[in-house]
Amino acid sequence: MDYDLIIVGMGPVGAMAANLAGLWGLKTLAVEKTESVYENPRAMGFDHEVMRAFDNIGLADAIAPHVMPYRASHYLTTQSRLIKRIDAAKPPYVLGWAPNYVFSQPPVERQLRANIASFTHVTVELGTEVLAVEMQDNLAQVQVRNRSGEFRVVSAGYVLACDGGTSPIRAQLKLRMEDLEFDEPWLVVDVMLKEGAGESLPTTNVQYCEVERPSTYVVGPGRHRRWEFMINPDETPGEIAKPESIRHLISRWLDVDDYDIWRASTYRFHALILEKWRSERIFFLGDAAHMTPPFLAQGMCQGIRDAMGLIWKLALVQRGIASPGLLDTYQQERAAHVRQTTKVAKEFGLIICERDPGKAAERDESLMRSMNSAPGGTIRQSLIPGLKNGLIDDRSPAGELFPQPMVVDRNGVKGLLDSFTGQSLRIVIASDVDSHPLLEQLHLRLEGSQLQLEVVRLTAEHPTQSADPDQYHELDGILEQWMHERNCKIVIVRPDHYVFGGACTTEEALALFERCLASLAS
């Protein structure tokens, strides 16, 4: 076997998968048929879960100049009535990062690729195309052709198809996509404002729910602004994407001398989910596995979650710590999550895309009533589900994302909790629990095992230098409050930061840990 893992496609999902594979020590080959990052923006938003993942691979500081917190979204009618407001949760932030961001994709993607060089186990080959993938002798045999036209076959334990919405690997295997019945044509226009221009533009994101032409306005980082326009039935994608058509559409907001067009592309916004996310030793991630309408800014997030949810499982299986059956939980967990998130994005799209005046009037009144009953608006993070099945226990808080508080260790070093624990299987113990009996039993249980369990013991006061290295004091109370609300004192957390389960006593925690071990082995 040449590699543990071959990753096909080096968009943001494939590049993140390659970084995570390096983090977990998997010998990996990542191939991409193009030789450089696509220079036009496509995705424009991601959330705190993805920012946490970027930070886990050491990238948060490098991408900071190209990232900005996402602004609230206002839904306006043709008469400019506000009928819906979607905002972000206020600080302190439960995952340690702002809930949502806008970003400039090309420079972020370049940083994501450059970061792979810090992992010695990962080889990247650009200008290399995958021609075929076949199974032979319990390995995946991958036929590739490099930029010089040379052919070779490389083998791996597993292949990740991160090869996009048209996925040649998916097409070769004739795998079916389930259609969730959303198919609308849109024009997406990115512009760069000229110096001093744009003072009259909205200061927040706007969904123009207008029957004449639904459209979207997004405030990007720096001078980057995006408009999305629904294409009317009497228009063709080719005609509406012409510069003169674009200038006419944007003239409502800006004079032609105020901006430069960065890119303009027409799309059909789809809601599709792959019926079978795995074919023998091939796994599908990102757009190769699902496509989500952009109305919740979750398209790229979904693919990053795919990588976060799969790579650590592949690593545990490769090390012999977990059974290959663990990999079956990939689709169990991710398909349900993607389906629910896509359903919400579709519902938002249907709100925005309503063209019938009578139905639009009914929509407006219904949303006004909802907004009046909840004047604070909808919190965007409340729309993103947790895990409902797979490698989780059967009681709350199983399946939730584990918070990431700011903590201080015994040396007085302050940082987000992940910076101390990394991506690991963790057991987190509240400050008012006598942890010694539990830790003694866990030590005995893991004696001779390769499974690494990171211990986090919270303390009521700042730990002194004589304290144990696994003791941390929380600075903002987020985790303490979260555990109190869920009536648990001990939490087992997966490497991808989802909670396996919670317990109140040492006995419950030991039983929970045994169920976790059994799940890994089954």
Question: How high is the pLDDT of residue 60?
Answer: 96
Question: Do 334 and 477 have their domain in common?
Answer: no
Question: Do 319 and 415 have their domain in common?
Answer: no
Q: Residue 365: inside a domain, yes or no?
A: no
Q: How far apart are CA 106 and CA 70, in angstroms?
A: 18
Q: Residue 85: inside a domain, yes or no?
A: no
Q: Residue 474: inside a domain, yes or no?
A: yes
Q: How far apart are CA 231 and CA 355, in angstroms?
A: 12
Question: Do 426 and 508 have their domain in common?
Answer: yes
Question: Do 166 and 314 have their domain in common?
Answer: yes
Q: Residue 396: inside a domain, yes or no?
A: no
Q: How far apart are CA 65 and CA 37, in angstroms?
A: 18
Dig out the tokens for 187 from the structure.
């024009």
Question: Do 319 and 420 have their domain in common?
Answer: no
Q: Residue 355: inside a domain, yes or no?
A: no
Model pLDDT for residues 111-122, shown as the tens digit of each residue: 999 999 999 999
Residue 377 has pLDDT above 90, yes or no: no
User: pLDDT class for 374, splitting at 50, 70, 90?
Assistant: confident
Q: Is the pTM of this model over 0.85?
A: yes
Q: How far apart are CA 290 and CA 179, in angstroms?
A: 10
Domain span at residue 480 reads: 406-521
The total of structural domains in the chain comes to: 2
Model pLDDT for residues 64-107, shown as the tens digit of each residue: 999 999 999 999 998 899 999 999 888 999 999 999 999 999 99
Q: Residue 168: inside a domain, yes or no?
A: yes
Q: Residue 78: inside a domain, yes or no?
A: no
Residue in the block written with tokens 């999550």: 337
Q: What is the CATH number of the domain that holds 306?
A: 3.50.50.60
Q: How far apart are CA 380 and CA 383, in angstroms?
A: 6
Residue type, 28: T
Q: How far apart are CA 501 and CA 254, in angstroms?
A: 52
Helix (H, G, I), strand (E, B) or coil at 244: helix
Q: What is the CATH number of the domain that holds 421?
A: 3.40.30.10
Question: Do 431 and 313 have their domain in common?
Answer: no
- 226 within 8 A of 217, measured Cβ to Cβ: yes
Model pLDDT for residues 29-73, shown as the tens digit of each residue: 999 999 999 999 999 999 999 999 999 999 999 999 999 999 999
Of 208 and 380, more confident: 208
| CB within 8 Å of 385: residues ≥ 6 apart | 336, 337, 340, 341
Q: Residue 415: inside a domain, yes or no?
A: yes
Question: Do 285 and 142 have their domain in common?
Answer: yes
Which among 294, 250, 280, 283 has a CA at the least distance from the CA of 44?
294
Question: Do 331 and 453 have their domain in common?
Answer: no
Question: Do 172 and 47 have their domain in common?
Answer: yes
Strands (E), 170-239: 177-193, 205-208, 215-219, 224-230
Determine the Cα angle at 323 with ends 322 and 329, to 5°. Answer: 95
Model pLDDT for residues 475-505, shown as the tens digit of each residue: 999 999 999 999 999 999 999 999 999 999 9
Tell me the mean pLDDT in the region 178-192.
94
Dig out the tokens for 202 from the structure.
């909205």
Q: Last residue of a domain, which of 344, 364, 381?
A: 344
Model pLDDT for residues 437-470, shown as the tens digit of each residue: 999 999 999 999 999 999 999 999 999 999 999 9
Q: Last residue of a domain, which of 326, 344, 362?
A: 344
Which among 194, 218, 225 has a CA at the least distance from the CA of 204?
218
Tell me the mean pLDDT in the region 400-420.
98
Q: Last residue of a domain, which of 344, 373, 389?
A: 344
